Amino acid sequence: MKGFFLTLEGLDGSGKTTQARLLAQFLEEKGIKVRLTREPGGGLPGVRDLLLKGEALSPEAEYLLFSADRAEHVRKVIFPALEEGFWVISDRYLDSSLAYQGYGQGLPLPWLKEVAKEATLGLKPHLTFLLDLSPEEALKRVSAPDRLERMGLPFFQRVRQGYLKLAAAEPERFRVLDATRPVGEVQAAIRFGILPLLP
């Protein structure tokens, strides 16, 4: 692949979307081709409302819907952009499912990873920034909670611990940043992390 695949992960309210947008602007100013995308909805646009605003789903159905969206996302958006030499910045990817449906809802990680292997064609991000903050702070920041955001503090505590375990297992890919810092400081840390990788 000619491009670079970067993801931002973290609890709802951690600032991923803002940081992804700021990073895309920074790279574009440097003349780098950027494709900014997100999950859910990057592959199957209608699935976002179904997952976040629809009725309660079983964790299994929820994960399979995320995976269907991810399969299309990889095939129709991410891989083609990488082949064209773009930097692809995704606001969430597979680590979100491992944290939320795996650690958060108790689905077995081996099954999640087996499904993901086919859905993603084995594609992993080159670099992942985990914007870390306490579940208490994350929930304070969410003004209009969606279905997942209404699952309560114990759920988000499990999700956060899941994210930290994922990061500890792949320290070469993950960079854990303190998301309680001001937006500009977090963005500066992200830019510092990617500077050695720029062409």
pLDDT in tens, 168-196: 999 999 999 999 999 999 999 999 999 99
Q: What is the mean pLDDT of the chain?
A: 93
Say whether pLDDT at 153 is over 90.
no
Which is the CATH superfamily of the domain at 4-197?
A: P-loop containing nucleotide triphosphate hydrolases (3.40.50.300)
Question: The whole model's pTM is what?
Answer: 0.93
Task: Extract the annotated binding site for ATP.
Answer: 10-17
d(CA 122, CA 129): 19
pLDDT attached to residue 126: 97
Residue ranges at the known binding site: 10-17
147: pLDDT strictly greater than 70: no
Nearest to 7 by CA among 34, 37, 47: 37
Location of structure tokens 């605003």? 53
Q: Residue 145 above 60 pLDDT? A: no
Domain boundaries, the chain: 4-197
Residue 35 bridge partners (DSSP): 88
Asked if residue 167 lies in contact with residue 19, where contact means CB atoms within 8 angstroms, the answer is: no
Please, what is the Cα angle at 153 between 149 and 158, to 5 degrees?
A: 95
In tens, the pLDDT along 40-82 reads 999 888 888 887 777 788 999 999 999 999 999 999 999 999 9
